[in-house]
Structure formats: structure tokens, C-alpha cells
A = this chain, B = another copy of it.
Amino acid sequence: MGNSTAVSPFAPEKLARLAPIDGVRFATAEAGIRYKGRTDLMVAVMDEGTVAAGVLTQSKTCSAPVVLCRENLAKSGKARILVVNSGNANAFTGMKGREAVEATVSAAAAAAGCKPAEVYVSSTGVIGEPMDAGKFTHLLAGLAKKAKANAFEAAARAIMTTDTYPKVATAKVDLGDGVKITINGICKGAGMIAPDMATMLCYIFTDAALAQKPLQALVSEHVETTFNCMTIDGDTSTSDTCLVFATGAAKARGQEPITRKSDKRLAAFGEALKKVMRDLAIQIAKDGEGLSKFVTFEITGAESFKAARTIARACGNSPILKTAIAGEDPNWGRVVMAVGKSGEAADRDKLTIWFGPYCVARDGERAAEYDEKTVAQYMKGREIVIRADVGVGKASATVWTCDLTHDYVSINADYRS
């Protein structure tokens, strides 16, 4: 966990209160997997009829639990129980890792009274350390029994690693038939993208009644502009997981189930879902390891959304730009560099750059009105917005990240010691 115990300057003064969602219940425990004196095991039990959708890491060295989640999304698309442990990623653990997942699935299926294909598992923590599932499989039956609906915050705390605060988000939406449905999400990050200690894990729950296919389509669509637009250090985890569970409980309150992708109510639901995903993505960036500033890169005038995002990510992953921001230096030349290195189309002679409200460069050279002192003052703020128009098209993208500080180096230089 490194030596830094400072809490992110962006930790919320008060966590949002998440109302219970019919059909899902949580329990947590101190299983002593790696950490002492804190919860490190979380179980979510879901009613029959819950559908699951998700997006998982594209890493070629993905963890054993990621393989299981991918298989079960394809196999059943249904969910009855989710088991998450922190402290050990169960990644790069070979046959032993697969056996640990199998043991977890057996015990979880027995605890929830469901099929193995309805079990989802995540693990986050150190890579390559063999994981002893025996530390917690015996606890699952008891946890499933005592699980309760009103426990989102406890669940969010149990999945933390180097996070300095739990991350929760909520949205309510009326799909048009007068029934309010709720979408609650919890996640952890801290380095998206800092797999030994972080790994992005996100679980979203809703009482909406909707089929798996339209749900999966929405999750796949909105992850592109939310979690995939957030970076701490550009390092893709072996375990990144975003799962969305819909219990369908709102049907009992009169919501007509959504079964087709053409259903017009999906637009409102999708917007609410995106809001929760975006909120959580920003919270992860705001708890980036060692950060002192929250940074937003907005790229406009690009050929496509993907091109704009690639350019914004090149900014968000540039060590030399992020250290300048940590040093409160309005070093916009480094934005020019990042735009140039991204490989995407950009017109150097039309490139225009703003730091907050201040135009620092216009049409390929320093803006006439540029005043270093004014912009240096802006850089002292805690939230920095840098915008660049690359002058070749109409597409745009926004990427959220943080600065690169001495604390990042300290945290990661001695994580395991």
C-alpha cells in the first residue's frame, strides 16, 4: 500500500446515500486475505431473474476471475451472486488460480442456491501471489444468509485497495410508465491502471426490468465515453471489471419489462446509466494515486470520437505533461507534443489550446493575448481543464485524469514492502 496515508483532496465530505434496490442484498467480512483490521470480502446476493451485462479488461494476461466473468456473461447472462475480494488479484497464478476460482464458484453457488453459471467473481490486489480461496469460501454461506439491502457503502469499502475513499453513485429515472427505477453503482480504482494495487472494479445494480441483450448493448456503448475516458497512469489492469446487474424488481411495481433494443425507453435508462458510470469514472480519477490536481482534457475538432479520445489519452498519459501540471507550470508546449505524438490527424497550423478560460495558443502559435502570469495563477487551482481544438473535423472527446506527483512515485516505489 506504500507509505502515503494522505486522503485525496477530492474525497467527498459526505458520501451520497444509496437507497436500497429491490432484489439485491450485500454482506462483507474481514477474511484476512492480505489486510488486517478491515473488510476485504464482499458478497452481493441477487434474486432470481437478475440479468447481468459487463465489460472486462482487454489485457492478454487477464486474471482467472476475469475469464470466469466473461464465460458466464456469454453462457447464461444471468446472475445470482457476486463475490469480490481485495488484497490478492488471483492474476498470473496458473492452474492454482483457476482452482481458487472454481472453489469460490462452488461455495458461492451452494450459498445462493444457484447454478455455477450464475456466479461472478472478482479479485483485486497483488499479482502473481497464489491465492488461498480457503480463507473465505467457508464464509460465503453465512454471508449470503445475513446479506441486507441497505449496505452499499459497506460493500464499496470492502473492495478498496489503495483507494482513499469509497466510491458510490446513484440515479433515478422514470422510464415513461410512471415507475421510478433506481441505478446504484459502487467502484474502486486508485490507479485504473495500477494493477498491483488498484484495478478498476465497478458494480452497478438496478431494479429495472430489462433483458440481457439491450442491457449489454448499453453497457458496451457507455463504457466508451465513461470508464474508457479515464486514466491514472495508462497502465491497463489484468483485472478491470465493470458488471451491471438488473434485478427486474421494478416489474412488481408496474414497470413493463424492456425486451428489445428498439424499445424507446432505453434512451432514458441509458442516460441514467451513463450518468452513474460517468460519476464513478470521475471519482476514480479524483482518487488517483498521489494526485494533487484533477485534470480534464477536452479535445475538439477531431476526425472521429475515437481519434479525439486517442489524442486526449495521449495528453492524459504523458508523464512530462502531468508532472508539469503537478508543478503548476502552464507548459502548453507539452500539450502540443502530446497532440503530435498521438498519431491521429491534427492540423499543426490550426491547433488552438486553452487552459481553463485562457487561450494560450491559436492557429499554430502562441496566442497574442497569452499572459504567463495569468495562466500560472490558473494552474494553482485544484481542478484544471485543458482544451485543444485540432482543426481537422467536428468530433470531440473528454478524458479525466490527475497529475503525476512525488507521491505517485513514493506509493509505487514501495507498494509491496
Residues of chain A at the chain B interface (Cβ within 8 Å) = 57-62, 89, 91-97, 126-130, 191, 193-196, 233-238, 317-321, 323-324, 326-327, 329, 331-334, 336-346, 348-349, 351, 361, 363-366, 404-406, 408-410, 412-417
Contacts and interface: CB of A to CB of B under 8 A. Distances in A.
Contact of A334 (B196, B323, B334): B196
Contacts of A128: 332-333, 336, 361, 365-366
B238 A337 contact: yes
A364 B412 CA distance: 24
A60 B344 contact: yes
Closest 9 CB pairs of A and B: A327-B413, A127-B333, A94-B365, A61-B340, A59-B340, A236-B341, A323-B412, A128-B333, A195-B337
B61 A348 contact: yes
B92 A351 contact: yes
A337 B127 contact: yes
Contacts of A345: 60
A365 B96 contact: yes
Given A60-B348, A128-B361, A406-B406, 4 more contacts: A60-B340, A94-B349, A128-B366, A326-B409
12 contacts: A60-B343, A93-B366, A94-B349, A191-B320, A234-B318, A235-B337, A235-B338, A235-B341, A319-B408, A323-B408, A323-B413, A406-B409
A129 B365 CA distance: 9
A238 B340 contact: yes
A59 B178 CA distance: 54
Report copies per complex: 2
Nearest to A236: B341
Contacts of A346: 60-61
Contacts of A327: 412-415, 417
Given A329-B414, A334-B127, A337-B127, A93 B365 contact: yes
Contacts of A409: 323, 326, 404-406, 408-409
A408 to B, nearest CB: 7
A93 B364 CA distance: 7
Nearest to A346: B60
Contacts of A318: 233-235
Contacts of A233: 318-320
Contacts of A238: 336-337, 340
B320 A319 contact: no
Contact of A329 (B57, B321, B416): B416
A236 B126 contact: no
A278 B417 CA distance: 36
Contact of A61 (B351, B406, B408, B414): B351
Contacts of A414: 327, 329
